[in-house]
Structure 1
Amino acid sequence: MKKFGFLALLLLLLVLVHPGTGYAGSAETHINLDGNDLEISKDAQVQIVNGSVMVPLRLVAEQLGYTVKWDNVTKTAIIEQKGTTLKLIVNNAMAEASGKQVKLDNPPFLSGSTTLVPLRFVGEQTGTTVGWDNVTKTVYLTSPAPEIGGGDAETTVPDTSVTAPSNNGSNGNTATDRDTSTTALTNLSFVDNKLILAVNGSVTPSVFTMTDKDRIVVDLTNTSFGDSFHQNLSVGKNQSGQLTIAEYPNVSTIRYSLFSSSPSTIRIVIDLNSPNSYSLINANDGLIIVDLNGTSVTTPETTLPEVPVTTPPPATGNTDKKVIVIDAGHGGKDPGSSSVNKLKEKDFTLPTALKIAELLKKEPNIEVVLTRSDDTYPTLQDRSNLANKVKADLFISVHANSIPVGGKSNPSGTETYYTRNDSLLFAQTVHKYLSVATGLQDRGVRQANYHVTRETKMPAILLECGYLSNTKDEALLYTADFQNKVASAVVSGIKEYLGR
């Protein structure tokens, strides 16, 4: 059994996060300690009280080899290890640690026969990484490494004092407090004109713009750079770094820094060449996305791609025929995301889109238009312009998802995105067939500000058919059988939506 320092134990009993209030304990909460799930009884479930996560005291303490005593008369829990004593009294917000009084966020309370406790204050003095996943209702605990020099030595807190860097005029402060973050930023990337941040916990970002120099600023409070971030990206001695962006003309650099150490706050700055709108996607699933595919950037009218398309029905013809535009995402110079084994997203989207088109061509009252039928690259404007020009009735863009390396989770599954409310029913109809046909996790219908689903004038959806970053999904995505299932599901959804 591992034995850590007393302060480390205290943090393991604490989750320094701010999930929404109102969540009560359920049979589906989890505690993951150093990668291992602890077995939780029905009356010892994690609960949320006034924004603090309350965890079962005895469960965590005894798993680490500590002695827990209970005084039923005074309702006092006593934890002892090597002469150190911690006393917590039910319904009392003051605790005693090593002879000192400690104020708790919330008083301990009984759930059945289990004492639930928050130990935020003590936890702030340790280097243990703690996170809360509000989607899976999981507490993630990672113990700090023991101090070098002795197997039973007390765990020490690393010195994380730094000077907060200045950000083009933003005032930096000399921080002397220890790192109090509850979440780790594990990776950062800029793909498809989107800033994608992978985090190992729950965080509510603050996003705003600066107009003196065109910038979009993302602040992640109670967040620090994770170990895997340092493996993927360069962080200098002043706790800062940057990426130079060449593929997207309106973005010059992405800068990141430890902006403050009290509380630990990471600031990410997107340097723009001109004002740009954005949308924020944060489902507390380990990914934070700032989507720059907005309408503020003025782009010249582009020529429609020279790819074979089916001529739409004339206005005087059969008015019952519906025009469906199928868009194979990416293509040509834009390969899209890469899979675990370096396969390209565009090599999934094109054959899948062609299979959908072939099935639709068998429907007598449907005309099919492809945005591309080979390895060419129509721009986003090309795709939406084409759909609008042919007066399409429906628009579907085919994609596969991916997350940066280093996130706490490795998601699998299908998602269907829409932007405008007039596309919601179409998204729901197609998605119910898609999620069943793929056999992957159903990650739901979601709203996002994608160009092709925003600038088209008909119900428009974007399909994420699986995760290239997940080995299970990747193994399926590039098989003809899986692609045929996707195609059949999409056609079934289209036919139901059209009442065919």
Structure 2
Amino acid sequence: MKKIGLVLVMFLCSFVFIFPGMGHAASNTSIYLDGKALNLPKNGEVQNVNGNVMIPIRVVVEELGFNVNWDKVTRTVTIQQSGTTMKLVVDNKMATVNDNQVKLLVAPILKGDTTLVPLRFISEQVGLTVQWNNETKSAYLITPNSGNENGSGGNDDSNNGSTNPTPPDVNVNLASIGGISFSDNKLMIATDKNVTPNIFKLTGPDRLVVDLPNAKFSDTFSNGQMLDSNMNGYIDVEGYPDVSKIRYSLFSDSPSTIRVVIDLTKSINYTLTNDNDGLIFVDLNSDSSTPSVPGGSGKKLVVIDAGHGGTDPGAISVTKKKEKDFNLAVVLKVEQLLKNEPEIDYVLTRSGDTYPTLQDRVKIANDLNADIFISIHANSGSATASGVETYYTRKESIELANVMHKYLVSSSGLTDRKVRSKSLHVTRETKMPAVLLECGYLSNPKDDAVLYTESFQNSVAAGVVKGIKEYLGVN
């Protein structure tokens, strides 16, 4: 059995599978393990409890060879395998994994003589891939190395509505789509293998469709980007009059195909760039046939990273605001200013409330061979801690750190807490000069009072751009 540490378990248990309705049984439900239909006991149908899919635990774990014990007095289920012990108590949201407490989003329930537990919790403990087909009310559980992939969902242009219980063929060596974002009027798709996109237009209404064959969503995709139980999601787009929304889905399972749809307000031209380097760009900025590659035409390329996002809120301020919102607000203001710099090109690691992993953020910068990488954050500590800091890891980043910090101090008006060295993933693993800016302390009432104001964010954004221009030698 896959052993999962407490922190990872807590992270995984924060996700739920959602389908229509609340607090009822999904009639005629089925559970498939590696394509094999499992026998569900009486009172053992899949349940929907406040948007959480619940499954009969004994059926699944016994198929996997787990030892399951039921204590009727304490109403406790104990599951043991390969040195890992999980204990779940009926009507109690606190579970234990190897004596470490884990809070569940919904407590196990007792239905007749069957105990039902959250699907996501138990499946992740045994290393299963989990997919839910809402049309057939079927859960598909795939064990590691089984080679099976299956998925289906809605029935519009972003999904084909497949309802087969198992795929007609085995999809192996699929490319994993790790992130989808939209900024500077460009769609960016990050993948871990070469993919040959098929792109075409649709009308009534106007849409641009990008199909990615032999691809799937990565295991971490839903950590920070919307992806529902039908494998559908979207990104709301603001500030670009030609685009209203980006939608994506698992469109087909034979072969496994990811479809991305750009909803347009009118028909426009595009250019597609795919250098098989892990990044695919669809540029809506030009009617020319020449692809617009970030950093092309001799421009300097900056990757701007809004820290945290999606399911990771970052620090919480004394007034209960989320760090991720501050970070994104500043980055979007930096973006607006960089649009006016003809010698600088840029890419945002996220342009909405999504969560690219730290690895994804680094991959974007490294694959693009960016000139510099800047991550925007806000800090948290004691109530008396106040001011701004700039962090770097590698000696190649010291000059960038000094320049950026100079402007961060002057633009924020907060206490100078100096440039500091620290081993942070995004500043350590990037190949170009990279810094992380801490723009104030959310735990300090005075800092918090200004961090979320437009004037402060505009000033800091302007300081960031001044620092970028000075370091890159751009007038």
Q: Which TM-score band applies after superposition, normalised by the shorter structure?
A: 0.3 to 0.5
TM-score (norm 2): 0.41
Larger radius of gyration: 1
TM-score (norm 1): 0.39
